[in-house]
Amino acid sequence: MRLRRMPFEEGASNVPDSGLTGPATIPDEIGAERKVAFRERVARWRRTAAGTFAALPRVFSLAWQAGPGLTIGLGVASVATGALPAATAYLVKLTLDTVVAAVQIHSAGRPDDVTFDVPFFPDPHLTSMQKIVALVAVQFLLYLGNTALGALRQGCQQLLQERLSQVIQIKVMEHSARLDLSFYEGSESYDLLRQAQEEAPTRPLFMVNGAFSLVQTSVTFASMIVLLAQMNPWLALVAVLAPVPAFISQARYSGRAFVVALWGSPVKRRMHYLSTLVTTDTYAKEVKVFGLGDYFVERFRLLARTWYERVRAVTVRRNAVGAVWTSLTTLTGSLTYLYVAAQAVVGRLTLGDLTLYTQAANSVQTSIQGLFSNFSEMYENNLYLDRMYALLNTPVKIKAPERPVPLPEPLRGHVVFDDVSFTYPGADRPALRNVSFEIRPGQTVAVVGRNGAGKSTLLKLLCRLYEPTGGRVLVDGVDIRDVDPDELRSRMSAVFQDFVTYQATAAENIGLGDIAHLEDRPRIEEAARQAGADAVIERMPRGYDSPLGRWFDQGVNLSGGEWQKVALGRAFLRRASILLLDEPTSALDAEAEHDLFARLRTLASGRTALYISHRFSTVRQADRILLLDDGRLVEEGTHRELMDLDGGYAELFTLQASAYVDEADTGPGSEAGPGVVDARRKG
Ligand SMILES: Nc1ncnc2c1ncn2[C@@H]1O[C@H](COP(=O)(O)OP(=O)(O)OP(=O)(O)O)[C@@H](O)[C@H]1O
């Protein structure tokens, strides 16, 4: 469903959709609805009802998974509570008739020896007072039962809510963790994820509650109808039909409320993004320095207004139209009541009958409205549930083949890219084109190239975060498509440009690199040393046990380079055969970078290491260098060979080196990297 785009400011119509400039409108679905033909609406209704009821098994299966005992408790309480109103109404009728008879006996001055033919009291020799006491006692017991059932119902409901939302959140998390990386890149996926996070935890419980309430009201409804029909079948029919119009309007509007929520999702998502921009620590610096706070708040206000306007339109219409139809029902109720009262006056019905009718008619009306509104709420909840299932049913494309080929043990780290091409989903040009190269086991290879040349993509394909659109990738002679991706990834270690800064202790931040060694302090300390993170960590008040990040208790905030060292430690903890480093030193100072590369040779001994870097002083130390340009592998060889080739690599190297040369020429103490000497010699 494509949304009409409304720019933030009038006149800026060519602004593309983004988190800041996307649609500030929600389409008018009500106009569209009016055009739908009656027959189509009826057909839609049938589908709706069928769809809603068909969803019940999956909802109950969810509830059962969450808590079988709680589900049974809720069910029993609902059915029993459903039967109570009819029993109570009948008891009231009996009490009233007994009272009226007793009054007549007393006023006639006769002895109180009248017998009553009532189901509860077969003994015909009770005095009327005794019968009244007994009836009231039974009524009291019913009220007690009602209270107990209410408590049972409430308790089961609350506990089931907790359990159900946990079960669902876990399902969503489990599936999200398995989903392909490409899934996270579409805006529709974000809508699905947002709805799954926000709505999914509560909607199934509403659905379960709705279903049980449906059972409860059905029981009430059926028992009351039996009571009414005994008095007069026509009265029963009127009571059943009167609330139908109110239901139809209810159901229509709950469908619309959902459509508004669905179509308004891009607006809500942008609101969420804007609010994150001004309330999250990582953005706070820039937002302040560039003075963006007011701009973001203003934009939020605009979107919030749009959202509110649309919600208001539906809510007002829903309630206003609902009220009109409900008044119609009330009018029917009053007219029937008048009829029954008139019947009582002429003696065709007793006073107890009149009360019974009043209660039964009220109850039928409320329960039939309850039935309908339960159903329409279930329909609405089911629409949300469908979205959750859409997420849970999103197929995982990159998964283990039926018979995965095991990787050799130990893995030598022989990597081959064979004519590999790749285009990102939705992109119009390839990120990699016919790339072929081979990395011998144990080699350290640097990948260089301009921004956007395809370097990171290369690493992502090697980890099988994406599937090549052409060609194949081999590790130790095995096509990685034939390998279980989890096994493949367990043999690799990586640091990406956008590495994660976990809100956890320093030791945990490193330990997460190999979950089996999360508690292995000596090994964690060794990895920290290898990454040059040991000094930073040991300086902190609680050393390796210091919490990093400020989200939780007394965390320590690190500098960008310090975080990067910790992330490197995480990668080194895993003793994998293939080490992938995407700009591993971008935030490190010159000395730390130099130290790291001095160590990398030892660290990478026996492993294949592939690293991306824009710093040629480090690149030149690699065994081999691959130069990518616009997704193509254009040069490969050692530093010496590529310099002699005098092509793109030599040009980039000389360009960078010349900056140092100029500095070296103009200022004392300027440091010329190891490559500078070469470049100067060459020049
Ligand atoms: N998730 C994505 N979806 C669509 N296109 C992408 C995605 N990630 C990268 N690209 C595009 O693919 C191309 C290669 O990107 P890649 O990240 O591999 O470049 P890079 O050489 O690592 O760049 P840099 O030096 O800036 O890190 C770029 O044109 C980029 O815009």
Indicate whether 381 and 461 sit together in one domain. no
Number of H helices, E strands in the chain: 24, 10
Indicate whether 494 and 534 sit together in one domain. yes
Instruction: Find out whether the beta carbon of 431 lies less than 6 Å from any atom of ligand 1.
Output: yes
Interval between CA 452 and ligand 1 midpoint (Å) = 5
Most confident of 276-285, 466-475, 657-666: 466-475
Instruction: Find out whether the beta carbon of 360 lies less than 6 Å from any atom of ligand 1.
Output: no
The predicted structure's pLDDT at residue 262: 67
Instruction: Find out whether the beta carbon of 627 lies less than 6 Å from any atom of ligand 1.
Output: no
Confidence of residue 159 (pLDDT cuts 50, 70, 90): very high
One DSSP character per residue, 382-436 reads HHHHHHHHHHHTS---S---SSPPPPPSS----EEEEEEEE--TT-SS-SEEEEE
Q: Which helix (H) or strand (E) holds 595?
A: helix 590-603
Nearest CA to ligand 1 atom 19: 452
Nearest CA to ligand 1 atom 28: 452
The predicted structure's pLDDT at residue 35: 58
The predicted structure's pLDDT at residue 38: 63
CATH code of residue 530: 3.40.50.300
Residue indicated by tokens 């609406």: 41
- What is residue 520's DSSP assignment? -
- Average pLDDT of the segment spanning 545-573: 84
Interval between CA 427 and ligand 1 midpoint (Å) = 10
Q: In testing the pocket of ligand 1, which one of 422, 424, 450, 460 has its CB within 8 Å of the most ligand atoms?
A: 424
Residue 52 reports pLDDT greater than 90: no
Alpha-carbon gap, residue 60 to 205, rounded angstroms = 10
Report in angstroms the alpha-carbon separations of 398 from 129, 355, 481, 482, 490.
79, 68, 8, 11, 15
pLDDT tens sequence across 172-183: 889 888 888 888
Instruction: Find out whether the beta carbon of 453 lies less than 6 Å from any atom of ligand 1.
Output: yes
Instruction: Find out whether the beta carbon of 461 lies less than 6 Å from any atom of ligand 1.
Output: no
The answer to whether residue 418 is domain-embedded is: no
Tally the residues of the chain: 683
Interval between CA 8 and ligand 1 midpoint (Å) = 29
- What is residue 325's DSSP assignment? H
Indicate whether 383 and 432 sit together in one domain. no
3-state secondary structure of 600: helix
Residue 278 reports pLDDT greater than 50: yes
Residue 477 reports pLDDT greater than 80: yes
- Average pLDDT of the segment spanning 146-166: 90
Q: Identify the sign of the CA torsion 158, 164, 167, 169.
A: negative
3-state secondary structure of 127: coil
Atom of ligand 1 nearest to the CA of 614: 25
Atom of ligand 1 nearest to the CA of 429: 29
Alpha-carbon gap, residue 652 to 645, rounded angstroms = 13
Q: Are 237 and 196 in contact (CB under 8 A)?
A: no
The answer to whether residue 666 is domain-embedded is: no
Instruction: Find out whether the beta carbon of 451 lies less than 6 Å from any atom of ligand 1.
Output: yes
pLDDT tens sequence across 304-317: 998 898 888 878 88
- Average pLDDT value for the chain: 81
Interval between CA 553 and ligand 1 midpoint (Å) = 37
Indicate whether 437 and 386 sit together in one domain. no
Instruction: Find out whether the beta carbon of 498 lies less than 6 Å from any atom of ligand 1.
Output: no
Instruction: Find out whether the beta carbon of 185 lies less than 6 Å from any atom of ligand 1.
Output: yes
Alpha-carbon gap, residue 106 to 94, rounded angstroms = 18
Interval between CA 567 and ligand 1 midpoint (Å) = 21
Q: In testing the pocket of ligand 1, which one of 456, 611, 612, 613 has its CB within 8 Å of the most ligand atoms?
A: 456
Indicate whether 375 and 436 sit together in one domain. no
Interval between CA 186 and ligand 1 midpoint (Å) = 15
Indicate whether 159 and 292 sit together in one domain. yes
Under 8 Å CB-to-CB from 626, ≥6 apart: which residues?
437, 445, 446, 447, 448, 633, 635, 636
ipTM: 0.97
Least confident of 418-427, 501-510, 521-530, 603-612: 603-612
One DSSP character per residue, 286-320 reads HHHHTT-HHHHHHHHHHHHHHHHHHHHHHHHHHHH
Alpha-carbon gap, residue 410 to 407, rounded angstroms = 8
Nearest CA to ligand 1 atom 2: 424
The predicted structure's pLDDT at residue 430: 94
Residue 321 reports pLDDT greater than 80: yes
Indicate whether 216 and 315 sit together in one domain. yes
The predicted structure's pLDDT at residue 676: 38
Under 8 Å CB-to-CB from 561, ≥6 apart: which residues?
587, 588, 589, 592
The predicted structure's pLDDT at residue 164: 87
Alpha-carbon gap, residue 580 to 617, rounded angstroms = 19
pLDDT tens sequence across 33-47: 555 566 776 676 677
Cis peptide before 401 (omega within 30 of 0): no
The predicted structure's pLDDT at residue 600: 75
User: Within a 13 Å sphere around the CA of 524, how many CA atoms are in the beta-carbon half?
Assistant: 24
Interval between CA 460 and ligand 1 midpoint (Å) = 10
Q: Which helix (H) or strand (E) holds 496?
A: none
The predicted structure's pLDDT at residue 237: 84
Instruction: Find out whether the beta carbon of 452 lies less than 6 Å from any atom of ligand 1.
Output: yes
The predicted structure's pLDDT at residue 3: 33
Q: In testing the pocket of ligand 1, which one of 455, 465, 498, 610 has its CB within 8 Å of the most ligand atoms?
A: 455
Instruction: Find out whether the beta carbon of 14 lies less than 6 Å from any atom of ligand 1.
Output: no
Instruction: Find out whether the beta carbon of 449 lies less than 6 Å from any atom of ligand 1.
Output: yes
Residue 348 reports pLDDT greater than 70: yes
Interval between CA 454 and ligand 1 midpoint (Å) = 6
Alpha-carbon gap, residue 588 to 101, rounded angstroms = 98
pLDDT tens sequence across 622-637: 899 999 999 999 999 9
- Which has the higher per-residue pLDDT, 205 or 111? 205
Atom of ligand 1 nearest to the CA of 182: 1
The answer to whether residue 375 is domain-embedded is: yes
Residue indicated by tokens 């081959």: 416
- Chosen domain end from 342, 375, 393: 393
Interval between CA 433 and ligand 1 midpoint (Å) = 13
The predicted structure's pLDDT at residue 474: 95
The predicted structure's pLDDT at residue 668: 43
CATH code of residue 173: 1.20.1560.10
Indicate whether 524 and 644 sit together in one domain. yes
Confidence of residue 680 (pLDDT cuts 50, 70, 90): very low
Strand 478-479 to strand 492-495: parallel, antiparallel, or no bridges (unpaired)? unpaired
Total domains, the chain: 2
Indicate whether 347 and 479 sit together in one domain. no
The answer to whether residue 9 is domain-embedded is: no
Alpha-carbon gap, residue 361 to 632, rounded angstroms = 79
Nearest CA to ligand 1 atom 27: 451
- Which has the higher per-residue pLDDT, 329 or 516? 516
Residue 283 reports pLDDT greater than 80: yes
Interval between CA 252 and ligand 1 midpoint (Å) = 46
The first and second tokens of residue 263, run together, are 């179509």
Alpha-carbon gap, residue 614 to 652, rounded angstroms = 10
Helix, strand, coil content of the chain in percent (nearest 5): 65, 10, 30
Residue 193 reports pLDDT greater than 70: yes
Nearest CA to ligand 1 atom 5: 424
Confidence of residue 675 (pLDDT cuts 50, 70, 90): very low
- Average pLDDT of the segment spanning 66-86: 90
Alpha-carbon gap, residue 626 to 445, rounded angstroms = 7
Instruction: Find out whether the beta carbon of 448 lies less than 6 Å from any atom of ligand 1.
Output: no
The answer to whether residue 220 is domain-embedded is: yes
Instruction: Find out whether the beta carbon of 456 lies less than 6 Å from any atom of ligand 1.
Output: yes
Instruction: Find out whether the beta carbon of 613 lies less than 6 Å from any atom of ligand 1.
Output: no
Instruction: Find out whether the beta carbon of 457 lies less than 6 Å from any atom of ligand 1.
Output: yes
Note down the domain range covering 559. Answer: 423-661
Interval between CA 227 and ligand 1 midpoint (Å) = 73
Interval between CA 466 and ligand 1 midpoint (Å) = 13
The answer to whether residue 323 is domain-embedded is: yes
The answer to whether residue 588 is domain-embedded is: yes
- Chosen domain end from 371, 393, 415: 393
Give CA 456 to chain center in angstroms. Answer: 28
3-state secondary structure of 505: strand
Q: In testing the pocket of ligand 1, which one of 185, 423, 457, 656 has its CB within 8 Å of the most ligand atoms?
A: 457
Instruction: Find out whether the beta carbon of 389 lies less than 6 Å from any atom of ligand 1.
Output: no
The predicted structure's pLDDT at residue 114: 53
Q: Closest by alpha carbon to 535, among 556, 562, 514?
A: 562
Indicate whether 346 and 434 sit together in one domain. no
pLDDT tens sequence across 4-19: 333 333 333 444 456 6
Residue indicated by tokens 């979950």: 515
Instruction: Find out whether the beta carbon of 427 lies less than 6 Å from any atom of ligand 1.
Output: yes
Indicate whether 127 and 191 sit together in one domain. yes
Most confident of 9-13, 380-384, 650-654: 650-654
pLDDT tens sequence across 386-406: 888 888 888 888 888 889 999
Instruction: Find out whether the beta carbon of 462 lies less than 6 Å from any atom of ligand 1.
Output: no
Residue 666 reports pLDDT greater than 60: no
Interval between CA 470 and ligand 1 midpoint (Å) = 17
Angle in degrees, CA 25, 31, 37, rounded to 5: 145
Q: Are 527 and 569 in contact (CB under 8 A)?
A: yes
Indicate whether 371 and 445 sit together in one domain. no
The answer to whether residue 108 is domain-embedded is: yes
Residue 57 reports pLDDT greater than 50: yes
